[in-house]
Amino acid sequence: MATKEITKFDIAEYLEDDVMVAEYLNTVLEDGDAEDIKTALGHIAKARGMSKIAEETGLSRPSLYKALSQGSKPQFDTILKVLRAVGGNLNIPTA
């Protein structure tokens, strides 16, 4: 009987362009909670390059990893910096 190798799924490998990133982030912002949003930002930062995002946010690379790690409670300012660095923004539509 042949053995099957199972590889771990990493969504960061599929966030190849701005459209995919925007769709992923918009879905999480609409349907997710704070932990989901933080996790998604981590996936996107990984896809874009943690060193690049760290530089753009003014955070050290270890601080960025810590802020986006599971169970962390980053300040809103940190989340906003990362959101902007990955090309996102907050937009409240008018009625």
- The larger pLDDT score, comparing residue 90 to residue 73, is at 73
User: What one-character-per-residue DSSP string does 33-88 give?
Assistant: -HHHHHHHHHHHHHHH-HHHHHHHHT--HHHHHHHTSTT----HHHHHHHHHHTT-
The structure's pTM equals: 0.87
What does DSSP assign to residue 6? Answer: -
Looking at residue 41, what is its pLDDT?
Answer: 97
Both tokens of 82, joined, read 């990362």
Query: Is residue 91 predicted with pLDDT exceeding 90?
Result: no
Tens digit of each residue's pLDDT (9 = 90 or more) over 16-72: 899 999 999 999 999 999 999 999 999 999 999 999 999 999 999 999 999 999 999
Predicted confidence band at 4 (pLDDT cuts at 50, 70, 90)? Answer: confident
Q: What pLDDT score does 67 carry?
A: 97
Domains identified in the chain and CATH numbers: 12-85 (1.10.260)
The dihedrals phi and psi of 88, each to the nearest 5 degrees, come to -95, 175
Question: Quick one: pLDDT at residue 2?
Answer: 76
